[in-house]
Structure 1
Amino acid sequence: MNVSGSLSRRRMVAVLGALAVPLTGRGGDASALAGRGNDTPVPVAPAGVTPEQVARDEGFWRSVARQYRVSDDFVNLENGYYGIMPEPVRLAYHRATDRLNEYSSHLLRTTYKDEAEQVRRRVAAVVGVEPGEIALTRGGTEALQLLIAGYRRLRPGDAVMYADLDYHSGRYAMNWLRQRRGVQVERLTIPEPATRQAVLDAYATALKEHPRVRLLLLSHMNNITGLVTPVERIVAMARERGVDVIVDAAHSWGHLDFTMADLGADFGVFSLHKWVGAPLGTGFIHIRASRLADVEPAFCDESYPADDIRSRVHCGTQDVAPVLTVGAALDFHDRLGAAVKQARLRFLRDRWVSQVLEVPNVEVLTPEEDGMYGAITAFRIAGRTSEADNAAITTELMDRYRIFTVRRGGLVGGACVRVTPALFTSRDEVDLLAGAVRDLARRMGS
């Protein structure tokens, strides 16, 4: 079957419906895809039911989807890059941009710092730490680079460690420490299949075999396969060996239901423009107050005292409209609730994965084990392990089925395709994906 790329997403659902399993329950028709971006009240998760029950309520999630303006030209299952703003946040961002443009330096030199401080306090409350342990950044990557570059407890001959699934910018910064600090760089491989015990064993073995490691980069949820690592246990085993851990929670915060206390780490990096839905260019770092001295001020910053975490971030004049919009994003996040968001994202992932797990030529790389995944999941078609192979699969998904995904590389077992639904994704759309993957496996499998 060859379907024209000019077809809209709704038409694709109808044309390719035969590829998907039968739909049951509330709201399982293509009309769920219409009307997004309408000016309707922000929905509130119903009381008296579990998050898992809410996750299966397609009527409720249609009301959530109407809060987003998304293209009808394709099914967007590549929402791991960043999370688009729902309408209340987008409108707040436009107001903040207009306000900044209108008031210019007067805003920056009068009320902005106080307003940014209120944002910082609110972010700290949601993540469960003191405001003095939070500094706003322009995203998770900037936060990650600042913490890695500023960590000052390394000496020549020490070692640092990261895994093959860690974010590439973090790996690059860790590699740079070889020149900056004179350390060795060690790399571990996350096993496939990545069970909880296998992951714990891999970190335990790597730390034992490399006793000179003093700093470990650890992804809470990595950006390639979406594996959720047992962070608290790994942090504890690292601490026993005198190893500090920088936890990369850019993909997990706002996606999973947790606070900093659940991670047990002294250092963390977070994004606000992924799963919280704030504008691009927002994130933050966390440094436990007792550990602040172990991270240098950024570029010898003197804008803030050395005992103020904000001295660990220095970026000059920035676009402050995204920061002024964070409160609106947290409002939307709070109305749904972290537990409900987590349940819905896992439901969507489970829905399509359950339909392809038994397909002989499909390899699902993200484990089924409870607590080890969210929305992000990667798959391969057996024998298709090269970058070119998986680029071809993503092209086929887009051209034939109008489903947008992304190729990911860097895994020892070979490249893969990453799938990431969002809060506006419908059950119909992940069913469409499952049918497309089954069809691809039949036609492309070795």
Structure 2
Amino acid sequence: MTLSRRAMVAGLGALAAPLAPLASRPPAPRSVTPEPPAVPAGRAPDQLARDESFWGTVTRKYRVSPDFVNLENGYYGIMPEPVRLAYHRNVDHLNELNSHLLRTTYKAQADAVRQRIATLLGVSTEEIALTRGGTEALQNLIAGYNRLRRGDAVMYSDLDYHSARYAMNWLRDRRGVSVERMVVPEPATRQAALDAYARALRDHPRVKLLLLSHMNNRTGLVLPVGEIATMAREKGVDVIVDAAHSWGQLDFTVDDLKADFAVFSLHKWMGAPLGSGFLYIRAGRLADIDPAYADETYPDGDIRSRVHSGTVDVAPILTVGTALDFHDALGSAFRQARLRFLRDRWVHQVIDLPNVEILTPEEPAMYGAITAFRITGRTSEADNVAIAEELFDRHRIFTVARNGPARGDCVRVTPALFTSRDEVDLLATALRGLASRTRG
């Protein structure tokens, strides 16, 4: 769910107007430093997560607008300076060499990117195929899954990504299957989520394919996907895991997902340019996904035959290595600790309010940066667009309304690595004021 036309116009108008002072926000950095950050030796992730001096050096790796507090970083991730500069060089390089680059060195360079990704995830290069993002990867896996027979069923939840749900619905006509929808419980806990999926699989024995979000884009809830995927496998159900949001936010490998099929984004939390992602198919399962549109560019036994995007801008892929260098300079554990700290910082200042509902639990394994909130009783699209508008108009805090949860719409809050402690404190103060004005 995106902002309404009215909300977008209001937001643009507000940006054009003189800005209200951001009293609680530190001034924007005067300079940007392009070198990758260096993690101090001997510091534990949870300890370093609270060190604003260190994270201030990380902030200076990003060019961030001083005109508003950006807490809507779930759409895609701002490139840090080393990545942005490399991307510009690669755009120029591609433009200069033209098709000579595509016909000579590009494939080897793309394979090197696949190797870097595979090493980081703990899999083989032959299990990775590059895509233009997580959505394309999801659509290719869902559409290509060929083990469904008429009379079978597929299943997704209320929190799964909308484009993936549309593709699952398309299977009704494509494969002659029925489509089942389940609801992830609120308030969510690890055990409640496990029980809900166990019940759904028990009540729908014809299900053969399950879509499962590792971290969903609506509320930020992180599911125990390894346990759910194992449970599904025991019932003969294959799982496609959507890990587009979790990779780069959370510290995990593919083995932790326990799934044979998964999708990832590179332009969200890895900070690569827009237009980069990949899919994963475990070795031995490739034949269960059809080649894309009967493509013959690669043989059937090559995972790259499961993606065909035509002639695309390859500069994002050429820049992935620099993005992974930046990621490695911090490391997954330190990134995860900082993002959870920022989430906890604002949530723990408002969680006591009787009319503020936080839609991720207090179990650290079940959240990262993304968390949504709801004002009790304000569950419509219009309600939550209005809340997001108020946060922007009164406080210059940018968030976004989200729909999908069975119990009503919400507002999503997504800090990033460049977000400061003071900025999430500003959000908490704004929410306390908003909650006091709307308390019935």
Compute the TM-score of the two structures, normalised by the length of structure 1: 0.94
Give the superposed CA RMSD: 1.1
Shift of 1:34: 2.5
Cα displacement (A) at 1:119: 0.5
The count of residues paired between Structure 1 and Structure 2 equals 426
What code does the residue aligned with 2:197 have?
Y
| Matching residue's letter, 1:93 | Y
Contact 1:7 1:73 in 2 (8 A): no
- Partner residue in 2 for 1:356: 350
Matched with 1:124 is 118
Instruction: Specify the alignment match of 1:24 in structure 2.
Output: none
Q: Distance in 2 between matches of 1:237 and 1:162?
A: 15
2:109 corresponds to which residue? 115
What residue number does 2:29 align with?
34
- Find the aligned partners of 1:343 and 1:269 in 2 and give their Cα distance: 23
Matched residues in 1 for 2:221 and 2:184: separation?
10
Give the match for residue 305 of structure 1: 299
Aligned to 2:237: 243
Match of 1:420 in 2: 414
1:281 aligns with 2:270: no
Q: Which residue identity does 1:350 align to in structure 2?
A: D
Find the counterpart in structure 2 of residue 406 from structure 1: 400
Contact 1:75-1:402 within 8 A present in 2 as well: yes
Q: What CA deviation, in whole Å up to 9, does each residue of 1:99-133 have, x standing for no partner?
A: 00000011011101111110111111111100000
Which residue number corresponds to residue 387 of structure 2? 393
Preserved contact between residue 250 and residue 368 of structure 2 (Cα < 8 Å): yes
Matched ranges for 1:149-228 at <5 A: 149-228=143-222
Distance 2:83 2:300 in 1: 34
Distance of 1:142 and 1:445 partners within structure 2: 43
Deviation at 1:7, TM superposition (A): 5.5
2:335 corresponds to: 341
Shift in Å at residue 245 of structure 1? 0.1
SS of residue matched to 1:285:
strand
**CA shift digits 1:26-55 (9 cap, x unpaired):** xxx724x423x5135321111211101111
- What does residue 296 of structure 1 align with? 290
Equivalents in 2 of 1:8, 1:51: separation in Å? 36
- In the aligned structure 1, how far is the partner of 2:18 from the partner of 2:229? 49
- 1:400 aligns to what SS in structure 2? helix
Say whether the 8 Å CA contact 2:34–2:81 is kept in structure 1: no
Asked if structure 1 preserves the Cα contact closer than 8 Å seen for 2:150 and 2:177, the reply is yes
Q: Deviations over 1:137-157 (max 9, x none)?
A: 000000000000000000000
Q: Are positions 1:86 and 2:80 aligned together?
A: yes
Deviation per CA, 1:322-373: give whole Å up to 9, x if none.
0000000000000000000000000000000000000111111111112000
Displacement, 1:313?
0.2
Give the counterpart of 1:234 among 210, 213, 228. Answer: 228
Contact 1:297–1:306 (Cα < 8 Å) also in 2 = yes
Q: Helix, strand or coil: the match of 2:349?
A: coil
Alpha-carbon distance in 2 for matches of 1:243, 1:402: 46
Distance in structure 2 (CA, Å) of the matches to 1:412 and 1:41: 45
Identity %: 71
CA contact (8 A) 1:220 1:252 kept: yes
Letter in 1 for 2:62: Y
Aligned residue type for 1:376: I
Please show how residues 41-60 of structure 1 align to structure 2 within 5 Å: 41-60=35-54
Residue 57 of structure 2: aligned partner: 63
State whether residues 34 and 82 of structure 2, in contact with CA within 8 Å, keep that contact through their aligned partners in structure 1: no
Equivalent-residue separation in structure 2 for 1:291 and 1:102 (angstroms): 40
CA distance in 1, matches of 2:150, 2:52: 57
Contact 1:218–1:248 under 8 Å retained in 2: yes
Normalization by structure 2: what TM-score?
A: 0.95
Deviation at 1:198, TM superposition (A): 0.4
Would you say the 8 A contact 1:407–1:416 is kept in 2? yes
User: What stretches of structure 1 of length at least 5 have no aligned partner?
Assistant: 18-28
2:309 and 2:401 map into 1 onto residues whose CA distance is: 32
Distance 1:349 1:8 in 2: 26
| SS of the residue 2:264 aligns to | strand
Offset from partner CA, 1:77-115 (integer Å, 9 cap, x none) = 000000010000000000000000000011011101111
Contact 1:295 1:312 in 2 (8 A): yes
Q: Which runs of no fewer than 5 residues in structure 2 stay unpaired? A: 1-13
- Counterpart residue identity of residue 69, structure 1: R
Alpha-carbon displacement from aligned partner over 1:213-251 (angstroms, at most 9, x marks no partner): 000000000000000000100000000000000000000
Provide the rounded CA distance (Å) in 2 between the counterparts of 1:283 and 1:95. Answer: 20
Name the aligned partner's letter for residue 377 of structure 1: T
Amino acid at match of 2:286: L
Deviations 1:149-180 (A, max 9, x none): 00000000000000000000000000000000
CA distance in 2 between partners of 1:64 and 1:428 (Å): 15
Describe the SS at the equivalent of 1:43.
coil
Asked whether the equivalents of residues 35 and 82 of structure 2 are also in contact (C-alpha less than 8 Å), the reply is: no
C-alpha deviation, 1:8, in angstroms: 4.7
Matched AA of 2:325: D
Taking the aligned partners of 1:232 and 1:222, their CA distance within structure 2 comes to 15
- Is residue 324 of structure 2 the alignment partner of residue 330 of structure 1? yes
- Whole-Å separation in 1 of the counterparts to 2:414 and 2:167: 26
Q: Is the 8 A contact 1:8 1:72 kept in 2?
A: no
State the SS of the aligned residue for 1:407. strand
The reply on whether 1:77 has 2:62 as its aligned counterpart is no
Q: Is the 8 A contact 1:405 1:419 kept in 2?
A: yes
Deviations 1:349-403 (A, max 9, x none): 0000000000111111111112000000000111111100000000000000000
1:301–1:311 contact (8 Å) kept in structure 2: yes
